[in-house]
Structure 1
Amino acid sequence: MKQYDYLIVGSGLFGSTLAYRAQQIGKRCLVIDKRSHIGGNVYCESIEGINVHKYGAHIFHTSNKEVWNFVNSIVEFNRYTNSPVANYKGQLYNLPFNMNTFYQMWGVKTPEEAEGKLEEQRAEAKARMNGREPQNLEEQAQLLIGKDIYETLIKGYTEKQWGRECTELPAFIIKRLPVRMVFDNNYFNDKYQGIPVGGYNKLIEGLLDGTEVRLNTDFFSLGDWRDIAEKLVYTGPLDEYFNYKLGRLQYRTVSFETTVEDTANYQGNAVVNYTEREIPYTRVIEHKHFEMFGQEVYDCQKTVISKEYSTEWKPGMEPYYPVNDERNNNLAEQYRQLAAKERNVIFGGRLAEYKYYDMAPIIEHALTVQL
């Protein structure tokens, strides 16, 4: 008899939720993580009494009541609503594209005026393409939203994200853009939204309560996992599991420049995007605004900000976003076919599935996986 029913590789949302479910039905689990902390990319570091999202802004949102009730059964969530602001050459615009944005851009005050301006610019884009299909991201974006918003709020930001010109990026990357004819700056359409009270560490700690966890432990240094457990839950990079036998999958990655500022309120918002290409970072995150509201912001005399930079991923860097071009999609599918043949192994999460996930869908998936 093996010592454990499940060896779970990775203590992020997928692995921790699986561990919680398994423990609830009496299974013996060992969770390992190569990092020095639990939580994967939702881990928060406490600086000046502020929960700092160490791996970038994480805002939980879902319309799935079952998922929302589940996470709130572990830890209470607050009322945070994501309403980012875009800064273009010192001018501020509301996101997502809504009546506030259109007023700031053109001075229009009614949905009818805004629709008229958008249609005028879309028609100009169609005329430039002379009836042909859009050949790149720039043409696709202008067909959807027009030249003004594209050049102000999309072009520079996207080129920083991907590290290449929009004219070199495929059109399918930007299949649709949200356009809302209301004065509402809520970024997400989901019914439920918030941040765990006390930070995401509280959620992960709750999910892993009672489960054995070993940090600073590399799965690939353990030997044959079948000597340890009956089943494996693997959340690491899919290609690494197979020792890169078919080649390496590619990613985009991000880095952060985090500083403590000697002011109570640096930018007045949790997230401000910088959309001009000349500014090297994509956005500035002021972490206290995720959990502090009203007078609380000023009761905490300092603040912590993170400037976020998007860069090309290289082996040894932290992989963040799958590169969903033809080459990587084909390679990932070949690896998935190999994964399907692995007995008693559950592959799950962003890296193991080579798929971009928001947090709620990861938990939804983990709640429905057959144990």
Structure 2
Amino acid sequence: MKFNTKNYDYLIVGAGPFGMIFAHEAAKRGKRSLVVEKRPYIGGNTHTHTEHGITVHDFGAHIFHTDNKEVWDYIRKFAEFNGYQNQVVANYKGTLYNLPFNMNTFYQMWGTKTPDEAHAKIEEQKQIALKDLGDRQPRNLEEQAISLIGTDIYNKLIKGYTEKQWGRKATELPAFIIKRLPVRFIYDNNYFNHRYQGIPVGGYTQIFENMVAESNGLVDVLTDTDFFDYKETLLSEFPRVLYTGMIDQFFDYKFGELEYRSLRFEHEVIDSDNYQGNAVINYTDSETPY
């Protein structure tokens, strides 16, 4: 493949959100970009399409959330957003619990009705399970999770789900992973604390299509084009390259291979207008294979 590099200021590898927003912002400043993308579409892991009147997130649901009003106003120039809030339900062997961990979860688990009662239950379980922890910090995800919410919630809502997600024992995972999960001693099922939340009506792909359309012809996109098929040529011909792929692959793995968390999605069409009653349900026991 021949690349006419004389007309471009940037080569951008990857047509995901970072690459496409960079190209759009460069175009606003009069800079021309060539975007190469190995997939047959733009949008990266936020790619969406419409099927049977449903907006399908091909790589899992992405909820936009931020406290930054400038960011919120910026993204809404390219799509209308709904007011969706992520309120997850966990299914543990047929029993349902609210996520993230909050007073609703504690009541469902233990029947506690006040924050003091919930704190006491967690502290009781923590002291028994982590009696050898002493003053040291939790060393792995299991210790961190138990120190946050006790053994009952850990065993029912975290352990099996997390080990399925990561393909590792919880004791082999770093403690910081679980710190990002909110624990609230109020009755609030909203997963995120951010002021601005939602999902674009009609999906994410339109956002990046609109960015290209508004670039005044300064953004060209080549899909079905693998950067690594032309790596040496492209690096020699383009003085400025924005690379958004796997960094170990870029360096031909000469510094070693990084470990990546990944998922396999299986799609099924069900003849129902309301199959499970909630947008997201986590199956948290280890026996359920998803």
TM-score (norm: length of structure 2): 0.91
Q: Is the 8 A contact 1:144 1:177 kept in 2?
A: no
Secondary structure in 2 matching 1:212: strand
Tell whether 2:65 aligns with 1:61.
yes
Q: Is the 8 A contact 2:39 2:224 kept in 1?
A: yes
- Partner deviation per Cα, 1:281-319 (whole Å, 9 max, x = no partner): 1xxxxxxxxxxxxxxxxxxxxxxxxxxxxxxxxxxxxxx
Residue 172 of structure 1 deviates from its aligned partner by 4.2
1:157-196 to structure 2, matched below 5 A, reads 157-175=161-179, 177-196=181-200
Question: Structure 1: which amino acid aligns with 2:183?
Answer: V
1:176–1:207 CA distance, 2 compared to 1 (3 A): closer
1:39-54 to structure 2, matched below 5 A, reads 39-54=43-58
Distance in 2 (CA, whole Å) between partners of 1:231 and 1:81 is: 39
Distance in 2 (CA, whole Å) between partners of 1:186 and 1:15 is: 30
Question: Structure 2: which amino acid aligns with 1:270?
Answer: A
Q: Is the 8 A contact 2:88 2:98 kept in 1?
A: yes
Residue 47 of structure 1 deviates from its aligned partner by 1.5
Secondary structure in 2 matching 1:252: coil
Residue 127 of structure 1 deviates from its aligned partner by 2.6
Q: Is the 8 A contact 2:142 2:175 kept in 1?
A: yes
Residue 7 of structure 1 deviates from its aligned partner by 1.2
Distance in 2 (CA, whole Å) between partners of 1:38 and 1:113 is: 50
Question: Structure 2: which amino acid aligns with 1:145?
Answer: I
Secondary structure in 2 matching 1:7: strand
Q: Is the 8 A contact 1:31 1:213 kept in 2?
A: yes
Tell whether 2:158 aligns with 1:137.
no
Secondary structure in 2 matching 1:258: coil
Residue 45 of structure 1 deviates from its aligned partner by 2.3
Match of 1:90 in 2: 94
Distance in 2 (CA, whole Å) between partners of 1:94 and 1:208 is: 40
Q: 1:116 aligns with which of 120, 135, 150?
A: 120
Structure number with greater CO (CA < 8 Å, separation at least 6) is: 2
1:19–1:137 CA distance, 2 compared to 1 (3 A): same
Percent sequence identity over aligned pairs: 59
Distance in 2 (CA, whole Å) between partners of 1:142 and 1:103 is: 18
1:138–1:215 CA distance, 2 compared to 1 (3 A): same
Distance in 1 (CA, whole Å) between partners of 2:58 and 2:153 is: 31
Distance in 2 (CA, whole Å) between partners of 1:133 and 1:9 is: 40
Secondary structure in 1 matching 2:268: strand
Residue 176 of structure 1 deviates from its aligned partner by 6.2
1:3–1:95 CA distance, 2 compared to 1 (3 A): same
The structure that is strand-richer by fraction is 1
Match of 2:104 in 1: 100
Distance in 2 (CA, whole Å) between partners of 1:127 and 1:239 is: 41
1:37–1:111 CA distance, 2 compared to 1 (3 A): same
Moved more, 158-167 or 225-234: 225-234
Q: 1:235 aligns with which of 233, 241, 244?
A: 244
Tell whether 2:281 aligns with 1:272.
yes
1:8–1:93 CA distance, 2 compared to 1 (3 A): same
Tell whether 2:29 aligns with 1:25.
yes
Secondary structure in 2 matching 1:93: strand
Residue 149 of structure 1 deviates from its aligned partner by 0.7
Secondary structure in 2 matching 1:73: coil
Question: Structure 2: which amino acid aligns with 1:269?
Answer: N
Match of 1:296 in 2: none
- Partner deviation per Cα, 1:314-340 (whole Å, 9 max, x = no partner): xxxxxxxxxxxxxxxxxxxxxxxxxxx
Q: 1:262 aligns with which of 271, 275, 281?
A: 271
Match of 1:215 in 2: 223
Match of 1:151 in 2: 155
Residue 131 of structure 1 deviates from its aligned partner by 5.9
Residue 226 of structure 1 deviates from its aligned partner by 5.0
1:42–1:172 CA distance, 2 compared to 1 (3 A): closer
Question: Structure 2: which amino acid aligns with 1:17?
Answer: I
Secondary structure in 2 matching 1:253: coil
Match of 1:328 in 2: none
Tell whether 2:83 aligns with 1:75.
no
Question: Structure 2: which amino acid aligns with 1:216?
Answer: D
Q: 1:225 aligns with which of 225, 229, 234?
A: 234
Question: Structure 2: which amino acid aligns with 1:62?
Answer: T
Aligned alpha-carbon RMSD (Å): 1.9
Q: Is the 8 A contact 1:98 1:184 kept in 2?
A: yes
Distance in 2 (CA, whole Å) between partners of 1:250 and 1:126 is: 29
- Partner deviation per Cα, 1:142-175 (whole Å, 9 max, x = no partner): 1221111111111111111122222333444434
Match of 1:127 in 2: 131
* Alignment gaps of 5+ in structure 2: none
Question: Structure 2: which amino acid aligns with 1:280?
Answer: P
